[in-house]
């Protein structure tokens, strides 16, 4: 064995080790106890594979490569460290989009190489274009491009750089035509392998990613980000096949499958199909058909504090409004004050509260709430009838009882938290507006519901002050 063969063997061995570490890493991330070590294992896996790749035979442009890696790593590292926990979902969208773009770039590079064959060959000793590699290069590039521009739009929307929804008449027809154009140009690339088709193919695919994401409303973003995450994984797997790199095939396909399952779990939690999220006009303008009787009854913080003081069992329901107000720390402070006074306090989390599945859990964990005080919807719903006071902070559609009663409502059938069954409900809300779905909330009009109009932090502060005023802050 000569030294070139030995190096090649070592590179292959490194990729194998990387693949094992990545799978073990994801496995460890699926339990709270081992989760932290999981990301570190996966991190070592990628690092090993990256270092090994530098020793790949016939590598050119190494200086440019290093410059690109260092510049991008520095930027991403800095932005990732600096971003507030509430803004995590859009950062995940952004980094995911970058991965999709990278996979699309690999596809573009491979297609250009194929187009100029036999002078350039991706696989040694194989001067002819391999049809299966060509097809998967096109497929991976299509999916990667959609994930790239789609994720960037999702990022821009969540960052508040863009209107939540953007719609025009006949939009679905235009989107459909754009997708068909991308597929048709992709087929032309496979059949003819000419540069102009490659350019048209990428233009259509990138445009479709934008068009597809524009009409999707903020409430549906968790599902969309998760879907694009799966897309990027799949694209990486396909481009891995093009490059005959098993580590990419395995890691990409594992993420593709895991991401698809995660997306389905989330869509199921909203009682909707993935196609319904992508192609329906849910989330804007659609007023509920049924008129709601009654009025919203305001309450001031001192009266609300007295209600809490007299209660024994309290359930707190946070939503995205809490994240926007950065109120999670104050809410935990309030909870600690209540626990000090022997109250039974629990947090109830709807599966799609926030902007990512489990987003609320992350924010509460950041504030220091132990995860065993946090309950899932199925576990907590039977407890609401025995609950003296339920505090809803920044949640709206996920506690709206019309999801169970009003068949004409767009959210009919979505599983909700049964807050309406609590003896008393206090809703902390900035104003009288509707939720992301644009639907009036029947809960707010119920007799047992009082509205505390305030910013989340301010409301929590006042409630803490109110509690201390009742018993002099002694906790007894």
Partner 1 sequence: MIDGFLALYLFMLAAFTGHEIISRVPVILHTPLMSGSNFVHGIVLVGAMVALGEATTPLQMWIGAIGVFLGAGNAAGGYVVTERMLEMFKSSKKPGSTSQGAK
Choose which of 178, 204, 214, 255 interacts with partner 1 (CB under 8 A).
255
The interface with partner 1 within residues 192-231 (CB under 8 A) comprises 225-226, 229
The interface with partner 1 within residues 132-151 (CB under 8 A) comprises 132, 148
Rama region for 58: left / alpha / beta (φ>0; ψ in -120 to 50; rest)? left
- 101 near partner 1, judged by CB under 8 A: yes
- 29 near partner 1, judged by CB under 8 A: yes
Stretch that binds partner 1, among 123-131, 156-164, 315-323, 392-400 (CB under 8 A): 123-131
- 61 near partner 1, judged by CB under 8 A: yes
- 361 near partner 1, judged by CB under 8 A: yes
Rama region for 105: left / alpha / beta (φ>0; ψ in -120 to 50; rest)? alpha
The interface with partner 1 within residues 297-356 (CB under 8 A) comprises 336, 339-340, 342, 349, 351, 356
- 376 is a catalytic site residue: no
Stretch that binds partner 1, among 64-72, 285-293, 312-320, 433-441 (CB under 8 A): 64-72
Stretch that binds partner 1, among 78-86, 156-164, 293-301, 433-441 (CB under 8 A): 78-86
Residue 54 · residue 47 · CB < 8 Å: no
Choose which of 7, 46, 162, 184 interacts with partner 1 (CB under 8 A).
46
The interface with partner 1 within residues 378-407 (CB under 8 A) comprises none
Choose among 86, 93, 92, 157: nearest CA to 394.
86
Choose which of 210, 292, 299, 362 interacts with partner 1 (CB under 8 A).
362
Residue with tokens 């573009």: 108
d(CA 353, CA 338): 24
Choose which of 10, 56, 191, 310 interacts with partner 1 (CB under 8 A).
56
- 283 near partner 1, judged by CB under 8 A: no
Stretch that binds partner 1, among 117-125, 275-283, 284-292, 408-416 (CB under 8 A): 117-125
- 55 near partner 1, judged by CB under 8 A: no
- 118 near partner 1, judged by CB under 8 A: no
Q: How many CB atoms lie within 10 A of CB 192?
A: 11
Nearer to partner 1, 120 or 289 (CB): 120
Task: For residue 118, say if its preceding peptide bond is cis, omega within 30 degrees of 0.
Answer: yes
d(CA 91, CA 76): 9
Give 54-110 as a 3 state SS string. CCCCCCCCHHHHHHHHHHHHHHHHHHHHHCCHHHHHHHHHHHHHHHHHHHHHHHHHH
Angle in degrees, 0-180, between the axes of helices 131-158 and 88-115, rounded to the nearest 10: 150
- 374 near partner 1, judged by CB under 8 A: yes
Residue 44 · residue 20 · CB < 8 Å: no
Size, binding site for partner 1 by CB under 8 A: 125
Own/partner pairs, 162-165, CB within 8 angstroms, 24+ separation? 164/217, 164/218, 164/283, 164/284, 164/436, 165/214, 165/215, 165/216, 165/217, 165/218, 165/283, 165/284
Residue 135 · residue 147 · CB < 8 Å: no
Cβ 451 to partner 1, closest distance in Å?
Answer: 29
According to DSSP, the β-strands at 449-453 and 374-376 are: unpaired
- 161 near partner 1, judged by CB under 8 A: no
Choose which of 163, 300, 312, 376 interacts with partner 1 (CB under 8 A).
376
Nearer to partner 1, 288 or 361 (CB): 361
The radius of gyration of the chain from alpha carbons, rounded to an integer in Å, stands at 26
Stretch that binds partner 1, among 52-60, 282-290, 384-392, 447-455 (CB under 8 A): 52-60
Question: Exactly one of 220, 397, 406, 418 is catalytic; which is it?
Answer: 397
Angle in degrees, 0-180, between the axes of helices 328-340 and 456-471, rounded to the nearest 10: 20
Stretch that binds partner 1, among 119-127, 185-193, 204-212, 464-472 (CB under 8 A): 119-127
Cβ 74 to partner 1, closest distance in Å?
Answer: 8
d(CA 421, CA 387): 8
Tokens of 396: 């709206």
Q: Which residues of 196-221 are buried (b: 16+ CB within 10 A; e: fewer)?
A: ebbebbbebbbbbbbbbbbbbbbbbb
- 460 near partner 1, judged by CB under 8 A: no
Nearer to partner 1, 103 or 452 (CB): 103
Choose which of 232, 337, 396, 400 interacts with partner 1 (CB under 8 A).
232
Cβ 327 to partner 1, closest distance in Å?
Answer: 17
Choose which of 172, 253, 280, 381 interacts with partner 1 (CB under 8 A).
253
d(CA 376, CA 246): 38
- 63 near partner 1, judged by CB under 8 A: no
d(CA 133, CA 392): 53
Nearer to partner 1, 361 or 424 (CB): 361
Residue with tokens 């644009």: 438
Choose which of 120, 174, 191, 324 interacts with partner 1 (CB under 8 A).
120
Choose which of 117, 177, 187, 365 interacts with partner 1 (CB under 8 A).
365
Tell me the catalytic residues.
397
């Amino acid at each position: 064995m000569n030294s070139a063969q030995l190096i090649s063997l070592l590179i292959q061995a490194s990729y194998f080790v990387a693949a094992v570490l990545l799978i073990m890493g994801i496995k460890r991330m699926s339990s709270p106890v081992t989760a932290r070590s999981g990301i570190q294992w996966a991190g070592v896996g990628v690092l090993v594979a990256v270092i090994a790749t530098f020793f790949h035979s016939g590598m050119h442009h190494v200086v440019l490569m290093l410059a690109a890696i260092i510049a991008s790593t520095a930027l991403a590292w800095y932005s990732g460290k600096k971003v507030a926990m509430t803004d995590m979902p859009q950062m995940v969208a952004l980094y995911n989009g970058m991965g999709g773009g990278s996979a699309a770039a690999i596809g573009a590079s491979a297609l250009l190489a194929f187009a100029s064959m036999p002078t350039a060959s991706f696989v040694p000793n194989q001067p002819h274009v391999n049809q299966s590699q060509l097809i998967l290069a096109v497929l991976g590039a299509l999916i990667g491009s959609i994930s790239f521009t789609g994720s960037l739009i999702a990022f821009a929307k969540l960052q508040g750089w863009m209107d939540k929804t953007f719609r025009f008449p006949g939009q679905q027809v235009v989107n459909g035509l754009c997708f068909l154009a991308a597929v048709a140009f992709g087929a032309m690339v496979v059949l003819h392998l000419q540069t102009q088709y490659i350019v048209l193919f990428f233009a259509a695919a990138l445009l479709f990613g934008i068009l597809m994401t524009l009409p999707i409303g903020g409430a549906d973003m968790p599902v969309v980000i998760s879907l694009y995450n799966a897309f990027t994984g799949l694209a990486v797997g396909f481009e891995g096949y093009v490059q005959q790199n098993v580590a990419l095939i395995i890691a990409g396909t594992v993420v593709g499958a895991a991401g698809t399952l995660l997306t389905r779990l989330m869509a199921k939690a909203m009682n909707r199909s993935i196609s319904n999220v992508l192609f329906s006009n849910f989330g804007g303008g659609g007023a509920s058909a049924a008129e709601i009787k009654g009025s919203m009854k305001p309450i001031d913080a001192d009266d609300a504090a007295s209600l809490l003081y007299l209660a024994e069992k309290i359930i707190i329901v946070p939503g995205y409004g809490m994240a926007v107000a950065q109120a999670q720390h104050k809410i935990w402070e309030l909870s600690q004050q209540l626990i000090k006074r022997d109250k039974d306090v629990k947090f109830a989390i709807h599966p799609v509260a926030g902007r990512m599945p489990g987003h609320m859990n992350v924010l509460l964990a950041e504030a220091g709430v132990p995860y065993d005080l946090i309950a899932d919807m199925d576990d907590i719903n039977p407890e609401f009838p025995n609950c003296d006071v339920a505090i809803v902070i920044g949640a709206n559609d996920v506690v709206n009882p019309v999801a169970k009663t009003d068949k004409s409502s767009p959210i009919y059938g979505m599983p909700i938290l049964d807050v309406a069954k609590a003896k008393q409900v206090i809703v902390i809300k900035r104003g009288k507006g509707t939720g992301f779905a644009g639907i009036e909330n029947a809960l707010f009009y119920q007799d047992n519901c009082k509205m505390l109009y305030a910013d989340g932090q301010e409301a929590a502060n006042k409630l803490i002050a109110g509690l201390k005023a009742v018993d002099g802050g002694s906790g007894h």
